[in-house]
Amino acid sequence: MDVFGFLNLNELALGLSNLSMFPYFDMAHYIISVMSLREQPGALEVSQRSPFACWFSSMLYCFGGAVLSALMMADAPVAPLTNTTNLLLASLMWYLVFYCPLDAVYSLASVLPVRLVLTVMKEVTRTWKVLGGVTQAGRKYKDGLFVMIAVGWAKGAGGGLLRNFEQLVRGVWRPETNELLKMTYPTKVTLLGSVLFSLQQCHFLPIQTHHLIFIYTLFIVTNKTRMMLLGSSSYPFSAVESLLYKTLFVRPLTFSPLTDSTPSCLSSPFHNKPNGSASNKPDQTDPKDAESSKKTD
């Protein structure tokens, strides 16, 4: 891709691809993750009732991707515990964000500029996590494109995909919402990255790894910054998405299946009521979701 050569970006791309995530970027990732947990409804109360459950939840926010991808690849999900340094670092961040005297750390990190910088650094770690998952899967399954996509996605967006069970640790259970039913921005953009890196690793994309790292990182960073500054959750590809959706997934005009579509229509009010009361006031819960998970992964 000589545009890189043309713009003399090769050194920059190479330098970025050699960037080490430890300790600063990891630290930013931990702080932002724990903060987004703290902003979940009920989290503060849990942090008082049971610090241990709160700590465990935080670890799922920080290492959820590693745990989920380990489960999917039949590696030991306790593996993250072996990296003592990172575990202690994450635990320290958890403690400071939740229990720091005068709430100094949280208040400081909540100041927009600080939060912006930390969030950007967290976004950078996403690239590394996705690429890590893709290569990890690629080592085990040669050219297993779908496995690489799945594992890369899981490693990059694990916290979000594990949401229901992370909530269960805190005694919250919201079956009516999950990341597959209603993808949030981080999950979508991670999936996109996982697809790109997997294609590149399988040589379907004629581009060098460090160039792709550079482009993808640039994209998620600028995008996230824009979203935070404008406070908009609009997604650049939403147009493409809705187009795809309209062309592929419109309910076919049909008469026969009305028979079995009616029960579904009838039951829809019922089978959501359990979950639901939530389904009666989605507007009350959804924004919270969107807002919180926007900051999450």
Total chain residues near a second copy (CB under 8 A) = 128
Q: Which residue lies nearer to a second copy by CB, 9 or 219?
A: 219
Reading the block at residue 279, the tokens are 């389904």
Choose which of 7, 78, 112, 230 interacts with a second copy (CB under 8 A).
78
Cβ atoms 65, 129 nearer than 8 A: yes
25 binds a second copy (CB under 8 A): no
Choose which of 9, 75, 199, 219 interacts with a second copy (CB under 8 A).
75
- The rounded Cα 67 to chain-centroid distance in angstroms is 13
| CB-based contacts of 3, cutoff 8 Å, min separation 6 | 9
Q: CA 34, CA 58: separation in Å to the nearest integer?
A: 6
CA proximity to 55, closest of 91, 14, 2: 91
146 binds a second copy (CB under 8 A): yes
Q: Which residue lies nearer to a second copy by CB, 13 or 166?
A: 166
CA proximity to 166, closest of 46, 269, 274: 46
Q: CA 251, CA 26: separation in Å to the nearest integer?
A: 44
Check whether the bond before 23 is cis (ω within 30° of 0): yes
What part of residues 1-20 is at the interface with a second copy (CB under 8 A)?
none
Reading the block at residue 47, the tokens are 């942090």
**CB neighbours (10 Å) of residue 187?**
22
26 binds a second copy (CB under 8 A): no
84 binds a second copy (CB under 8 A): yes
Q: Kindly write out the interface string for residues 277-296 of this chain, putting x where it contacts a second copy by CB under 8 A and - elsewhere.
A: xxx-xx-xxx-xxx-xxxxx
Window contacting a second copy (CB under 8 A); options: 13-21, 170-178, 195-203, 210-218: 170-178
What part of residues 212-231 is at the interface with a second copy (CB under 8 A)?
227
Choose which of 17, 58, 187, 200 interacts with a second copy (CB under 8 A).
187
Choose which of 77, 135, 210, 219 interacts with a second copy (CB under 8 A).
77
256 binds a second copy (CB under 8 A): yes
Tokens 């080490």 — which residue? 20
Cβ atoms 155, 136 nearer than 8 A: yes
235 binds a second copy (CB under 8 A): no
Q: Which residue lies nearer to a second copy by CB, 200 or 296?
A: 296
What part of residues 87-106 is at the interface with a second copy (CB under 8 A)?
87, 99-103, 106
50 binds a second copy (CB under 8 A): yes
